[in-house]
Structure 1
Amino acid sequence: MEVKNKIILALDVPNIHEALELMDKVSDYLDTVKIGYPLVLAEGLESVSKIKKKYDIKVICDFKVADIPATNQKIADVTFQAGADAIIVHGFVGRDSVESCLESARKFDKEIFLLTEMSHPGATNFMQPISMNIASMGVEIGITNYVGPSTRLDRLKMIREIVGKDSFIISPGVGVQGGNARDTLQFADAIIVGRSIYLSDDPVNALESIIDSIEL
């Protein structure tokens, strides 16, 4: 997956009106957005279809799928049917649950991103001890897309070493959580940025500043 300007917008706004208003301002700079539960729970999966169609943009659904295989596959199926290009899947639930999402992605000619370790402080409690095992499992079953934290570059570097240079890593935590865009891109292929853009009084200027920092 190629990502324009190496930036994925986390579109975690509470309604479709705010989502469309923001996209009208920033869509010229982006070709990929991440849509999670806040917008989909408020507006339904139609929000994915609407944004994808209006802006001709790639959509990664950040549902952090984490259930038994049969339920995981149902979630992935309806998400891809709504137009999503990829879905983010938790790895801690085990190989069979992850493989069910991978099977769905192959059926619809879509992609999954395997979440190895999250970017918030609490991830160190339970996720960090197993995150490298999750990355290794992903490699074993043929996954080529991963999520790793920009807030812990030492961990992100280790994830890169496990998944290899040809895998595609997207990294949340840049901006409000403290991750640095330029530093993160030493190990990741694209960064995920949300609040630094959509909470800004001038989202375009905020986005341009991030792009400038990357290109320095």
Structure 2
Amino acid sequence: MTTQQLIDQIRIKKSFLCVGLDVDLGKIPKHLLTLEDPIFEFNKAIIDATHDLVVSYKPNTAFYEAYGLKGWTSLQKTIEYINENYPDIFTIADAKRGDIGNTSTMYAKAFFEDLKFDSVTVAPYMGKDSVEPFLAFENKHTIMLALTSNEGAFDFQTLQTNQQELYKQVLETSKTWKNSSNLMYVVGATKAEYFTEVRKIVPDSFLLVPGVGAQGGSLSEVCKYGMNDSIGLLINSSRGIIYASNGIDFAQTAREEALKIQQEMNAILDAKL
């Protein structure tokens, strides 16, 4: 999917909502556990109930890898289901990969060529040769960790080095890499006050924003400081939507929660456009 196609979907759906498909068998409705593939059936129901309200789905691969081959099969079935039935949806493999060049190439092939995700998250700590192999794939997007929403983010990301916070140096450096136009960035909603600084460095890039909802981030604050002329935001919500109910009505309740966010986004977009 091209960036323009993603922007078009945001404008059509009046939404920039991304739903995280982080499936824990200990949390999904118990009646699904009797099915052959409860993870896929849970995902399928959530997707069918919310697809018209969202522009992106983001499975965190750890929640599938934890169940071994069966979990990986569930992930493959999930991405195939999205691609076949809702090809306008932007898909994110939340894998946070990043290794020396030849290994990163294989990671990229796994997610872009085999599973056919539109994008994958990566960690930039190993530098250029760990990220550029992902950037080499046409119309695929690499979403690099920049300023995350977790408590430990302050251990390194905001440290001052050479009179500048480390996350700013990461952003600046990444712009010099080959095919950097394929980069997007993770910036946590719980750090809304940083969005102005982020936008000074990457004004045109899309930002994947976790932390709205269960982690307490403010959608209005993120949009105030982080939105650009092309919207430029994908707001992720996982637990607040997919685990809104653990009963028979789980999919409908997930839709109701997604609709609340989409309506808020619609109002923000109407005020901006």
Q: Same fold (TM over 0.5)?
A: yes
RMSD: 1.8
What SS class does the counterpart of residue 128 from structure 1 fall into? coil
What SS class does the counterpart of residue 73 from structure 1 fall into? helix
**Contact in 2 for aligned 1:174/1:193 (Cα 8 Å):** yes
Structure 2: which 5+ runs fail to align? Answer: 25-38, 66-70, 160-165, 228-232, 246-252, 269-273
**Contact in 2 for aligned 1:120/1:177 (Cα 8 Å):** no
Paired residues for 1:61-210 under 5 Å:
61-81=93-113, 82-103=115-136, 105-106=137-138, 109-129=139-159, 130-141=166-177, 142-143=180-181, 144-164=183-203, 166-186=204-224, 187-188=226-227, 189-201=233-245, 202-210=253-261
How far residue 39 of structure 1 moved from its aligned partner, in angstroms, is 4.6
Aligned AA (2:106) = K
- Greater C-alpha Rg: 2
Aligned AA (2:130) = S
Indicate the residue corresponding to 1:35 in structure 2: 59
**Contact in 1 for aligned 2:189/2:212 (Cα 8 Å):** yes
Q: Distance in 2 between matches of 1:39 and 1:26?
A: 20
How far residue 8 of structure 1 moved from its aligned partner, in angstroms, is 0.8
How far residue 34 of structure 1 moved from its aligned partner, in angstroms, is 1.1
The Cα offsets for residues 80-108 of structure 1, whole Å up to 9 and x where unpaired, read as 111101111111221111112212x23xx
How far residue 40 of structure 1 moved from its aligned partner, in angstroms, is 3.8
- Determine which of 2, 18, 31 is the counterpart of 1:8: 18
TM-score by length of 2: 0.72
Tell me which moved more, 47-56 or 7-16: 47-56
Aligned AA (2:23) = V
Q: Distance in 1 between matches of 2:93 and 2:158?
A: 23
TM-score by length of 1: 0.90
Aligned AA (1:134) = V
Which structure ranks higher in relative contact order (CA pairs < 8 Å, sequence separation ≥ 6)?
2
Q: Distance in 1 between matches of 2:217 and 2:211?
A: 5
Q: State, as a whole percentage, how many aligned pairs show the same letter.
A: 25
